[in-house]
Amino acid sequence: PGRWTTENGKTCLREAFIPFSTGTRVCTGAGFAMVEGPLLLAMLVRKWRFAAVPERVPVPVAYLTVRAKDGIWLEVRRR
Ligand code: HEM
């Protein structure tokens, strides 16, 4: 995380990391999404344990964004 506190890191955070786009058509829900995402994740991992399926290692594929070629396979167990 320390890399985001350097001068270069701060510039990258503003100019290179743009999941919500930038400029006049920037995502108006960005602030909400940054609260909603971690909240949902916290609620899920509180009740469930997620583990990677060893035979199904995700293969990253880059289009506009990076995704897993055949999805991300997880074993889900109740805590
Ligand atoms: C992780 C979640 C989200 C991501 C990654 C995301 C990403 C984006 C991106 C990249 C754009 C620009 C699209 C373009 O230039 O054509 C956009 C636009 C927009 N987003 Fe999101 N978004 C997210 C969640 C949300 C949420 C939760 C809301 C509403 C509550 C929202 C409302 C909007 C609206 C209204 C626009 C259009 C803004 C405009 O064109 O003036 N987004 N979003």
Closest Cα to atom 21 of ligand 1:
27
Q: Pairing mode, if any, of strands 60-62 and 66-68?
A: antiparallel
Ligand 1 mutation pick, 24, 27, 40, max ligand atoms within 8 A of CB: 27
Backbone dihedral region of 57: left (phi > 0), alpha (psi from -120 to 50 degrees) or beta? beta
Residue 38, SS3 per DSSP: helix
End-to-end CA distance of the chain: 29
Distances (CA, A) of 61 to 4, 21, 58, 75: 25, 20, 9, 22
The reported pLDDT for the residue numbered 63 is 85
Compute, in angstroms, the gap from residue 35 CA to the centroid of ligand 1.
Answer: 14
- State the pTM of this model: 0.77
Compute, in angstroms, the gap from residue 25 CA to the centroid of ligand 1.
Answer: 8
The reported pLDDT for the residue numbered 46 is 97
Ligand 1 touching residue 8 (CB < 6 A): no
pLDDT at 16 over 90: no
Mean of per-residue pLDDT scores for the chain = 93
- Note the pLDDT tens digit of each residue in 48-70: 999 999 999 999 999 888 899 99
